[in-house]
């Protein structure tokens, strides 16, 4: 008897890699806070790209807007003194992992919507500072 060629079985969702990514995101209490923070960082980037992705010669105007953009993101989680002392090119030398350069977690600028979502999560689930 000859064996029939078996049609490759369709993999079950739990066998796929992205399933675990989505599952862990669904289990994450702070997923909405994380997404709102991502949106608050992405908005200025989107505005920058919308302004400068054009056929017009806009390269001479990049410097001001790009410097403003590159300095705005570290200002969210680094101390003002550290950011003010560092020039745009010196920012690459600043160690964001160093505790003395970081703001206290309560003073980190998450964005309005992310802070609102965090407030709702902490009230609902009483998530502590350790989770965050």
User: What is the model's pLDDT at position 113?
Assistant: 92
pLDDT in tens, 103-132: 998 898 999 999 999 899 888 876 555 455
User: What is the model's pLDDT at position 1?
Assistant: 46
More confident residue, 14 or 43: 43
Res. 38: pLDDT tops 70: yes
Residue boundaries of the structural domains of the chain: 30-125
Residue 84: pLDDT band (50, 70, 90) is confident
62-75 helix and 31-52 helix, angle to the nearest 10 degrees: 170
Give me the chain's average pLDDT, please. 81
Residue located via tokens 């919308």: 50
User: What is the model's pLDDT at position 100?
Assistant: 92
Residue located via tokens 């702070």: 30
User: What is the model's pLDDT at position 99?
Assistant: 92
Q: In angstroms, how far apart are the furthest CA atoms of the chain?
A: 81
**Residues 78 and 101: beta-carbon distance below 8 Å:** yes
**Residues 44 and 72: beta-carbon distance below 8 Å:** yes
Res. 11: pLDDT tops 80: no
pTM for the model stands at 0.68
């Amino acid at each position: 008897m000859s064996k029939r060629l078996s049609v490759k079985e369709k993999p079950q969702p739990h066998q796929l890699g992205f399933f675990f990514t989505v599952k862990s995101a669904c289990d994450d209490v702070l997923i909405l806070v994380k997404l709102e923070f991502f949106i608050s960082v992405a908005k200025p980037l989107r505005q920058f790209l919308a302004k400068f992705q054009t056929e017009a010669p806009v390269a001479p105007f990049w410097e001001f807007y790009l410097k403003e953009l590159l300095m705005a993101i570290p200002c969210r989680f680094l101390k003002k003194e550290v950011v003010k002392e560092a020039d745009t090119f010196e920012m690459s030398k600043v160690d964001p992992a160093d505790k003395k350069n970081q703001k206290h977690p309560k003073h980190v600028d998450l964005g309005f919507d992310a802070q609102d979502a965090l407030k709702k999560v902490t009230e609902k689930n009483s998530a502590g500072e350790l989770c965050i």
